[in-house]
Amino acid sequence: MARRLDGKCLGNPDWREHPPFTEKTRDELLTYVTSWKPTERVQKAFGQKPLRLLVLGPSGHGKSSFVSSIKSCVGRELGQGAVVGAGMAQVSRQYNEHTLIHNNEDLPFVLCDSRGLHEEGEGAGIDGIMKILTGTIQQGEIMPTQKDTVIEQVMQYHATDLPLGIIFVVNATKSDNLGGIFSFREYLEKVLEALNDMDIPRCVVMTHVDCVIESDLKTAFSNQRLEHAVRSAGNLFHVPKHLSSL
């Protein structure tokens, strides 16, 4: 159960089990990520192709900043690998694959940044997302929007074609409001419907968590406001709560 409003606890105050996050935990997680290798079954199916992690999310919710943060963390150096902006400049227009490098070696997965999800016609169109999933879009290519018409026929996706994973990025302070915007919810449902028939693992990553907690980040898993934000994001993107990460 979550923490009561009066500050008293009823049983376990945490709404989600989690390990204590220390420098040791951080180093162990970083080692796990940078030493990960695909299984023999995956290598047999896909050869030496890197795992492509497609980063999707509403425009302006920190999608490109998330990509830059991961690159900086894994590469152990600060840098801006993805361009971010303000207002409509927040809308990434190009498709870009970001190779992750650790100790001067390419890791076996890449982060794929794309045009954001947006309900006013400027967001990524279904055709554009399908081009990413089928591997028929090129690095730096401008992604079509919802209102664009794609002339060429998009290949049908087959689960064995490309190794894929999808990371939805959403601002923790806005996840609840998004569910109340009918035009966005209707648009997102069309995107999710296109993904439902594909056997692609997916998760949700939440940004701006500190703005929700407004206190020590160590209290994240006992904060009711954050639990509500996680549930809202999970419902919005059809992802169970245990796959909604902070």
**157 has a pLDDT exceeding 60:** no
The pLDDT score that the predictor gives to residue 1 is: 27
Between 3 and 56, the higher pLDDT residue:
56
Angle at 77 between CA 71 and CA 82, to 5 degrees: 40
pTM of the model: 0.81
- Other CB atoms within 10 A of residue 125 CB: 22
Q: Quote the tokens at residue 138.
A: 């090129």
227 pLDDT above the threshold of 60 = yes
Q: How far apart are CA 64 and CA 47, in angstroms?
A: 29
pLDDT at residue 93 greater than cutoff 90: no
Q: Which residues contact 172 (CB under 8 A, 6 or more apart)?
A: 206, 207, 208, 209, 211, 212, 226, 229, 230, 233, 246
Task: Please report the pLDDT score of residue 244 as a whole number.
Answer: 55
pLDDT above 90 as % of the chain: 8
Percent of the chain with pLDDT over 70: 77
What pLDDT is recorded for position 154?
Answer: 57
What is residue 155's predicted lDDT score, i.e. its pLDDT?
59
Residue 13 identity: P
To the nearest whole number, what is the mean pLDDT of the chain? 77
Indicate the CATH number of 48-245 among 3.40.50, 2.60.40, 3.40.1350, 3.30.70.
3.40.50
Q: Residue 71 above 60 pLDDT?
A: yes
- pLDDT, residue 197, reads 72
Q: What is the mean pLDDT of residues 71-100?
A: 67
Q: 180-223 pLDDT, tens per residue?
A: 888 888 888 888 887 877 778 889 999 999 898 877 777 888 88
Top mean pLDDT of 34-38, 138-142, 176-180, 198-202 is at: 34-38
